[in-house]
Structure formats: structure tokens, C-alpha cells
Amino acid sequence: MTALPLTLNLWAIAICVLGVDFALIAKERLAPRVLAIACCAAAALSFLGGAVCLAVGPSGDVALWTFPVIGSITIGTTTMGSWFACVAALVYVPTSLFTLRYLERYADNYSLRAFAIWYCALLAAIIGLFLCRDVTSFFIDWEVIAIASALLVAFEWRHVRNARAAFLMLGMSEAGTMAALLAMLLARSGSLWFGGPPTVLGGALSWAVFLLAFFGFGVKAGLLPINSWLPRAHPLAPGNISALLSGVILNVGVYGIVLVNMMLAPSHIPVQGLVVMVVGAASALVGILYATIVDDMKAMLAYSSIENIGIVITALGTAFVFTAVGQPLLAGIGFAAAMYHLANHSAYKGLLFLGASTVDMKLGTRSMNALGGIIRVLPITTALFFIGVLGIAAIPPLNGFVSEWMTFQALLRSAELAPLTFRVTFALCGAVLALTAALTVTCFVKVFGMSFLGWQRTERPKTSEASRSMLLGMGLLGLACLALGVLPTYVLPVIGRASTAVFGSDVVTGTLVPPFFKPAAGPAPLPADFVATFHALGAQLGSWLPGRGLVVMLRGGAANPVVFAMSTTYLCLIIALLLLITYGLVRSVTRARRAERSKTWTGGMTHLPSEMTYTATGFSNPVRVIFDAVFDPTEVENTRETIHHHFRSAIRRTREDVFLSERLVSDPLTHAVRSAAAFLARMHHGRLSAYVGYALGTLLVVLAIASAAQP
């Protein structure tokens, strides 16, 4: 036990506070620099602190002050908190670098000083949240996050839409906070401290805590059906803030769910896990459906965040179920998949948001229907964006593949569950996620193919590649995507450390990254020829490298020694090798021949205007048509105009796709509240006799209750 992680984190917070101070006193134009230096340093320190904590274990809790009623304010590091802090820092460092030059676009209209202050404050609050060890400090910190992020969303406050989106975000966040607070108080009756053994709650109370916490924190995490704020706030926030919202703030919601439902009062009813899975899978599908049909690049990424958090939550759900039925090792797979996907999502979504913001900044639009051929003006941005696209589309050996593969493996472990309903739910969630994965590819083929490749569709400003600090920010995230993809066996032990906070021991490393040649005590030894094959491939690297091997695998019994195995590390090598061989073959076979290169065959049209090429909407229209029942669009306009009776002059069609959660939950709710308010307002018509009547009625009711209460 060492206090070093805590110290590092406190230093990080101190630097953030310093950043706020400097931003207040420094010249406005220096604000971006203050922000970048302070936040990079603070996030790096926080990352270091988290890493040390994960390496050597948590520090003890420190009670700072004690107040009457609310008790002690306690801080301390945990392995779980450290994991989330590391993931947050992974996004924060590159985003802060990116922000340095990105803020230029707002310099004329908005206060950069204010931006720097809220940005630093948000980082401080996020680092702090993972240190909070009691309900009071947790919720105070939580509120700071909510307010700071809402202010950042409303940064371009002159647009009324931004202010509205920020209010909606804040309002929904507060409602969720109330539910979550209630859940925490119920979970830990008597103590506000997070420490001590987990409580085991009775049936009804367990359900109450589970539902309140899951949906309360689910608002922050962007889960269906309580995420109508998300598609409104993310696209309107400044680009770098969108990256943080998706890469950090959503994770905070997941942290809340893990904290309450896995650590403080662990869910022990399997059906709760199924609820988690179903909500996760539904979020994933609905998220990606909307992502596929929208044409605003940032809105698409926002909906895609719903999808990714959905996958995280589905994987987490399997962990819930397996924990509840007493299969901690299998729960470990689900938990590892969830945490891995969380980190992956932060990395590639951060990268994609920064890329989309670069495009927006340089070309002045985010509409995929207007963009096209970006590769010719922003080649490096395009290359980096492509890494993110490969990652999110789960193309091996990039990072998305690893965690989605593990999620599917966790779902396939339903074979170990007895009740049929469980198996069916697992199978259905698996099917939904498979559909989601296919749609994800469609969605990102669309964004990359329609915007970055293809023809220039509209007039665009003359522009040049993004500045070096912006590219560095995106490059770091691209590197993270590659590393998370190619080196899963080095990431999983880290998640294993984090899992000790939930399961009491490391349930991941031993299960998924077993020592390769040392036959473990439990499972049957590997067959000799299998070992020989992998030996020849160099799997023994694990014996002298700091890792354990380069294959993620689950070992089974004698009949089935290897349940599943996967190695993106080898896959990467093999892909590289195959590409090399193919290139060599093609070169050697066609050396004598010249490749024919000529223009695309366009049916004999010599001048093909860009309006004659597929638009992004056209590309995704089949999805829109097939899933019309889900979108249930409102036809705003459908008119046909003719002149001189017969000459069609215009066909105007506009349709509005209102987001499912908004259409089915928020809107009816708002409507109901409004009608109730209108009904109540009718009681206040100002006639004296009526008010006297109300007073009398109230008196009678009180008397009746009082007399009934008499023993």
C-alpha cells in the first residue's frame, strides 16, 4: 500500500485549479495555451497515478473532514476508479493538445477564457470523482461535472439550440442524479462511506436500488430510453467537448452503475442482469440505426456512442448474470469485455470526433451530403480518421474487434446457464449485436466513403491540413487504437487488476491470458500438437516479455481444451505478411504488363456533375426503408407543384426522424406534465369563493386523516 497514487491525483487536481487561476488572470489569447499545458500535465499525472494504483494496489481511504449529519468526507484510490481515470486521461491528453489550436475558430465570437476555466474545472472534477469514497463528496463532485459539461455544451450560447440542448442535458442529468442518490442512500443505509464489505439487499430493496441506480446513472451513460439529451447535446457542443462527452462523460455513467450495482450493493438477482443486457442491446441497435441514417457527421458519431455504450452495457449485463449465478470466472469475461470496449470506445470515438471537428473547422460543414473527397485536402486527417473507422467497425486487428469479439464470447457462454429464458435472452442479445455490428460497418463505410473519398460535392474553401498539435492529438488516439487492438494480452491483465475491486480477486488474467506452457492446476493440459503449433509461431514470447503470451484464450475441460482463442497480435503479423506476399506475387506476375488506368466508366457521360453521384442519404436509404417502423418519421412536407398544369416544377419532401427515446418517452412525458399543469392552472382563476372552498376542503381532509390516525 502506498499513498503515491493518491498524491499524484491530488497534484493533478491542484494543477487543474492552477489552470483555472491562470486562465482567470492571463490574457484571453493565452487561455488555450494555459488550458493545454495544465490539462495535459494534470491528465498525465492522473494517468500515472492510476497506473501506479493498478500496479501496486489501492491506497487506503483518507478521511479529510467530518461534518454533522453528512459524516466524513473521504478520499482514496481504488483499482476500479484508477482504470476509469486512466481511460479518461487517455482521451483528455490528446483532446487538450487538439484544443490548443482548435479554439481559434471561436476566438472572435466567444470567450476562450470561460472555455479554459470550465474545461480545467471539468477535468478536476472527473479526476476527483474517481477518488471520492463517500456519498456526499461523490455527489458534490458529480454536480460539478454536470454543470461544467453543460456549460461547455452551451459554449456557443448565441445559438439558442445550444443553450436548449445544455438545459435539456442538465435537466435530465439532475433527474438521474436524484434517482442515483436515492439508490446510494438505500444501498448503504446507515453509512455514507463506500468502504467496508458490500451489502446484500433483500428482494424488493435490491430491485429498487438496482433500477434507481441503473437508470439514474443510465441517463449519464446514454442508455435507452433516457438518452434523448444525447443526440441533441453531442452534435452541438464544440468538437473537442463532443470528444470528451463521448469519451469520458458517458464512461462516468458506466462507472456509477459499476460502483453501485457491482461494488456497493452487488446485484444478485440474475433477472436484473438480463434487464441490463436487454437495455444494452436495444440501445446498441437503436443507436446504430439512427447513426446510419443521419447525415450530420457529429450527430452520427453521437448516435454511434449510444450504440457503443449499449455494447458495453450488454457485456456488463452478462457479468451481472454470471455473478448472480455464481460463475465469477465467466463474469470476468463479460466484465473484461465491457471494460475493454469502454476503453476502445473512448479511444476511437475521441479520435473520430476530433477528426470530424477538424473537417468541420476546415471545410465549414459536417453534412455528409455536402462533403466529399476530403482525402485530397486533409490527407493526414483522413488517414487518422480511417484508423478510427476501422476500430469502430471492429475490423481486425484494430481495437474494436477485440472487445466485440470478447462480448460475443461472453454471450456464447450462455451454454453454461441452465434456465431456458436466460439462454434465449443471451441468444437474442447476440443476434441483435450481430445486426448492430453489420450496421456499424454500413454506417462507417458511408461516412468514410461519402465524405472522405469520392468526389467533391459542393464548393469548398481553400484550406490546408490541420495544424501539428491537432494532428498530434488525433495521432495519439490513433496510436491508442492500434495498441489496444494489437496488444490485448497486455491490456487484459490491467483490467484484471481493476476487476479485483468488484470480484475480490483477479478473475480476468488467469482466465483469458493463461500462462501458456505451464499447465494450470484447473483445466486440462493443452494437447501436445496444439502447443507445438503455437511454439512454432513464437507464442513463447510470453516467457521473456513482460506479458504472458500473445493469445487471448479460454481453456476448458479435457474434451474441449480450448474453448476459444484469438490473437490480434498474430493476426496483425499474418495480415502484414499476406499483404506483402500478395504485393510481391502481383508484382512478379505482372512485371511485364502495364496496368491500364483510365477514367471511371460513367455510361458514356463525359461530364458527370457531382449531383449525379450517390449521396450519403441515398447510400443509407435502404436501411431507412427497411427499418421504417423503428424510425416512424413524421412527414413534414410532401407537395408536388406544377406550372402550366403539366410541368412538374417541384417535388418537396421533408421528413423528420425524431429520436426514438424522445418520441416514445420524453415527448409524451412533457406533454403529460404540460397538460397536468394546464389542468391545475384552472384551479387558479382568482375567485375568492373557490379559494375559501379549497381551504375548507383541505381542512376536512386533514381532520379526517387526523381522526383516522387516532388509536
Task: Check: CB of residue 407 under 8 Å from CB of residue 312.
Answer: no
H-type helices in 154-269, by residue range? 160-187, 203-221, 230-236, 239-244, 250-258
| In the complex, least distance from residue 70 CB atom to another protein, rounded to whole angstroms | 53
φ and ψ at residue 545, rounded to 5 degrees: -85, 160
Nearer to another protein, 158 or 599 (CB): 599
Nearer to another protein, 603 or 711 (CB): 603
Nearer to another protein, 469 or 617 (CB): 617
| In the complex, least distance from residue 374 CB atom to another protein, rounded to whole angstroms | 18
DSSP 193: B
Nearer to another protein, 505 or 610 (CB): 610
Nearer to another protein, 455 or 691 (CB): 455
| In the complex, least distance from residue 573 CB atom to another protein, rounded to whole angstroms | 36
| In the complex, least distance from residue 651 CB atom to another protein, rounded to whole angstroms | 5
C-alpha pair distances (Å), 458 with each of 292, 296, 605, 609, 688: 22, 15, 20, 10, 66
Nearer to another protein, 639 or 707 (CB): 639
Task: Check: CB of residue 302 under 8 Å from CB of residue 242.
Answer: yes
Residue found by looking up cell 493518491 in the block: 6
| In the complex, least distance from residue 541 CB atom to another protein, rounded to whole angstroms | 47
Task: Check: CB of residue 482 under 8 Å from CB of residue 387.
Answer: yes
Q: Which of 552, 222, 207, 569 is nearest to 410 (CA)?
A: 552
| In the complex, least distance from residue 459 CB atom to another protein, rounded to whole angstroms | 14
Cell of 117: 476555466
SS3 state at 702: helix
Query: What is the tally of helices (H) and strands (E) in the chain?
Result: 27, 6
SS3 state at 465: coil
| In the complex, least distance from residue 655 CB atom to another protein, rounded to whole angstroms | 8
DSSP 636: E
Task: Check: CB of residue 456 under 8 Å from CB of residue 378.
Answer: no
| In the complex, least distance from residue 701 CB atom to another protein, rounded to whole angstroms | 56
First to last CA, the chain: 59
Nearer to another protein, 594 or 685 (CB): 594
Residue found by looking up cell 437508470 in the block: 215
| In the complex, least distance from residue 600 CB atom to another protein, rounded to whole angstroms | 9
| In the complex, least distance from residue 444 CB atom to another protein, rounded to whole angstroms | 18
| In the complex, least distance from residue 637 CB atom to another protein, rounded to whole angstroms | 9
* Cβ-Cβ contacts under 8 Å for 228 (sequence gap 6 or more): 168, 172, 659, 661, 662, 665, 666
C-alpha pair distances (Å), 113 with each of 90, 127, 149, 527: 24, 21, 15, 64
Nearer to another protein, 420 or 625 (CB): 625
- The CA-CA-CA angle for residues 348, 350, 355, to 5°, reads 90
**How far is it, in rounded angstroms, from Cα 406 to Cα 76?**
31
Q: Site residues (CB under 8 A) for another protein?
A: 295, 369, 596, 598-599, 601-609, 611-622, 624-625, 643-654
* Cβ-Cβ contacts under 8 Å for 453 (sequence gap 6 or more): 372, 373, 375
Q: Where are the beta strands (DSSP E) in 306-447?
A: none
| In the complex, least distance from residue 214 CB atom to another protein, rounded to whole angstroms | 37
Nearer to another protein, 568 or 620 (CB): 620
Nearer to another protein, 451 or 509 (CB): 451
Nearer to another protein, 588 or 598 (CB): 598
CB atoms within 10 A of CB 29: 12
SS3 state at 682: coil
φ and ψ at residue 686, rounded to 5 degrees: 85, 10
